[in-house]
Structure 1
Amino acid sequence: MPLLEVVDARLAGMFQDLPARLHRGQAAYIGPFVADIEAVFDPASNPYFANGEAIRWVLTNEAGQAIGRVAAFLNRDLPTVTDPSLPTGGLGFFECIDDQDAASQLFDAARAWLAARGLQAMDGPVNFGERDRFWGLQIAGFELEPNYGMFWHPPYYQRLFERYGFQVYFKQYTCAREVATPLHPSFAKRAAAFATEQPAYRFAHASKGNPERLAQEFLHVYNLAWGKHSGVKPMEPDQARRLVKQMKPVLDERLLWFAYYNDEPVAFFISLPELNQILKHVGPRLNWWGKLRFVWERWRYQRRRPKKMFGVIYGVVPEHQGKGVDSVMLVYAQQALQGAGYTNIEMNWIGDFNPRMMATMRSIGAKICKTHATYRKLFDETREFERCPVIK
């Protein structure tokens, strides 16, 4: 079967159009924006190209029709790539017919490309970018629509990966709850105690009218709470500004909650309206008609019931962990979310390497609704496989 490197607009179109053709008729399928995928492979848009490389292929049948696709990449700034004991690259954006030979041909291409660059393993499917998008293979919850930035995968993909020799490096859990679900009474008790006994703390949602402040406060908490985790690179100021700019068209400031200690941001709970509930009515290409449709559908969404939100990221600066700051912040946030008309929330995925965050999800009554997996394939099959270390 011919394997073609994507080097022109025609092949990029085949790469983009394959998932919709494969999954047509699946009630839960929502495809991503074409522009979001193309930005990953555009050196002018993706800062990971500054010290990295990427390649993508389309697999065709004898008639020239696309039947599979995959990408391979490495970012030399990531600890997984520079780890001298097991330098590991990435494989992502996999889509394929239900055929092991076709899948294996795609996996072989990625493996050979990475091995030629000194890598000894590959993780996949992952993103040539941050972990909040296009990361993991769906292995449960197929009846549910994907959240924005995540792919929907059919059940047979798991078999294609595992028969090739991929092993689960870590599982990723998406948790959900109804916004109105009462928090445990201890949350309200703690909030009342903070109001009288901890006057140095305050809790407030952000103002989208001051995007620079929002970017700086997000950056501060993110780097202290997440920047030292395995596989996570500290964020740069310009990157935080870009994120705020990208989110601006859909920001609801009532979903952006911060905790402050003596006016220093020490925790956040950042959420957005769940964009796929808008985009599924718009289509994969944001041309002039798509932009008009987006504005209309966003207006309809804000007036819709039920209305779903997406918890993007949650974190507490280490020095303030274990003090109840997160619990109190959620008490304040819940009141605002209900007032804004949101009825349901799904949180961004949490790895099984983070039991503390999973305990937090249980404490607020959230339950696992979808499961993805990040797989790892060792090129030396005699080597002992080790799962992702658990955060202590």
Structure 2
Amino acid sequence: MIIAEEVKNESQKREFLEFPVRLYHHDTNYVRPLDKDIEEIFNPEKNKFFKNGECARFLFKNKEKETVGKVAVFVNNLYKQQQPTGGIGFFDCINDQQTADFIFNYCKKWLQERGMEAMDGSINFGERDKFWGVLIDGFAQPLYGMNYNFPYYKDLFENYGFKVYFEQLCFSRPIFADVSRVFTVMHAKHSRNPDLTAKPMKKNNLKKFAQDFTEIYNKAWAAHGEGKHITESKVLRMFKKMKPILNDHISWFVYEKEKPIAMWMNLPDLNQWFKYLNGKFGLFEKLKFLWVKKFKKNEKMVGLVFGVIPEWQKKGIEGYMIWEGTQHLRKHTDFKVTEMQWIGDFNPKMIKIAENLDTTVTRKLATYRYLFDRNKEFERHPTL
């Protein structure tokens, strides 16, 4: 017998955070997320998605009152799909299909009561840049904000009837590996153009780079499916929040006569430091973080955003930018590996760029979908 408890009080909230720690106790690749990063997602005052949605968390316990699973289930009215689709996330479960089926059925009923016709998982009640997808290949230490799970989760989802809506591919390469000849040729070509310049993003001029980021982002992605504009004020707030961990050598912009035309945004992988904090970020942990950050080299950087405005796409400007940035960061940083945050298999253009960098796919996640009407034809995410 399994009993569901909605997470309401402080004790239940702690158990929601601590259950995965016990579950992954012997897994050396597991990195506990910061508690505050999880809790902010479920705080209506912190998470804007509560304005257009509803979310609940549940613990699942056996007859001995031991936790055997947990999940968040939510409706996000901004998540536009062909059929009304809800989400489940922060799913953790013992290796038992019956227990997982109970959890999935519970979520299905909760979502059906709110008019949903399908559910996606394991996803976030928020943006796709964090806690999105089920890890299905490449069970290495996760990047900051990336889901991590046991290999058996794939079977739990697929045995229930979930199908892959899209795969999320993470590409990696050594910093000092040879850069593709395609990029060096394009760099040589564009270097002869006196109107073009490449500049690293600097922490002392965030307002300018926020403006440039916004212009490139909106031109490059606004027309994509499920895309949307971003405001300069939002970008500036984001940059200011990231300022303590920004590195002046690893994010690059390209300009044509001072007009921003391309960007390549990277950050240090915070999990290289946060793995020492056991999920906490109080005063003691903040001091410890500063000590670790100062004395332990971070050798992995993470590619967050790559964009080229439409007028400069398919002209090789990315080769110019990447080789300019790579030559510089090799001299001025300790990074040895770069890994791109996931690229959806529905985005062949970005996958091609990643492949041209001579990268390899080092991990895969899957966004699963389950249609409540089992007779309805399943369709994967449309190609961009």
TM-score, scaled to structure 2: 0.96
**Deviation, structure 1 residue 163:** 1.1
SS in 1 for 2:69: strand
**Deviation, structure 1 residue 341:** 2.3
SS in 2 for 1:79: coil
The amino acid that maps onto 2:311 is E
* Match for residue 131 of structure 1 among 128, 133, 136: 128
Match of 2:171 in 1: 175
Pick closer, same or farther for the CA change 1:259–1:227 going to 2, 3 Å: same
Superposition pairs for residues 15-34 of structure 1, below 5 Å? 15-34=16-35
* Cα-to-partner distance string for 1:315-363 (whole Å, 9 max, x where unaligned): 1122211011111100111012211221111110011111121111111
Match of 1:343 in 2: 336
The amino acid that maps onto 1:268 is M
The amino acid that maps onto 2:38 is I
Verify the 8 A CA contact 1:208 1:214 in the aligned structure 2: no
Task: State whether structure 2 residue 259 is matched by structure 1 residue 267.
Answer: no
SS in 2 for 1:131: coil
Counterparts of 1:248 and 1:290 in 2: how far apart (Å)? 18
Match of 2:155 in 1: 159
Superposition pairs for residues 60-209 of structure 1, below 5 Å? 60-80=61-81, 85-142=82-139, 144-196=140-192, 198-209=193-204
SS in 2 for 1:55: strand
Superposition pairs for residues 317-336 of structure 1, below 5 Å? 317-336=309-328
Match of 1:316 in 2: 308
SS in 2 for 1:146: coil
The amino acid that maps onto 1:212 is K
Task: State whether structure 2 residue 374 is matched by structure 1 residue 381.
Answer: yes
**Deviation, structure 1 residue 299:** 0.6
Verify the 8 A CA contact 2:5 2:58 in the aligned structure 1: yes
SS in 2 for 1:204: strand
The amino acid that maps onto 1:73 is F
Verify the 8 A CA contact 2:191 2:320 in the aligned structure 1: no
SS in 2 for 1:209: helix
* Match for residue 291 of structure 1 among 283, 286, 298: 286
The amino acid that maps onto 1:17 is E
Match of 1:367 in 2: 360
* Cα-to-partner distance string for 1:252-275 (whole Å, 9 max, x where unaligned): 021111112232222111111111
**Deviation, structure 1 residue 104:** 1.5
Counterparts of 1:122 and 1:309 in 2: how far apart (Å)? 33
User: Number of residues paired by the alignment?
Assistant: 382
CA RMSD of superposed structures (Å): 1.5
Q: Which runs of 5+ in 1 are unaligned?
A: none
Verify the 8 A CA contact 1:79 1:230 in the aligned structure 2: no
Q: Which runs of 5+ in 2 are unaligned?
A: none
Verify the 8 A CA contact 2:206 2:239 in the aligned structure 1: yes
SS in 1 for 2:64: coil
Identity %: 38
Task: State whether structure 2 residue 349 is matched by structure 1 residue 356.
Answer: yes
Counterparts of 1:287 and 1:59 in 2: how far apart (Å)? 29
SS in 1 for 2:204: coil
**Deviation, structure 1 residue 242:** 3.0
Counterparts of 1:37 and 1:271 in 2: how far apart (Å)? 23
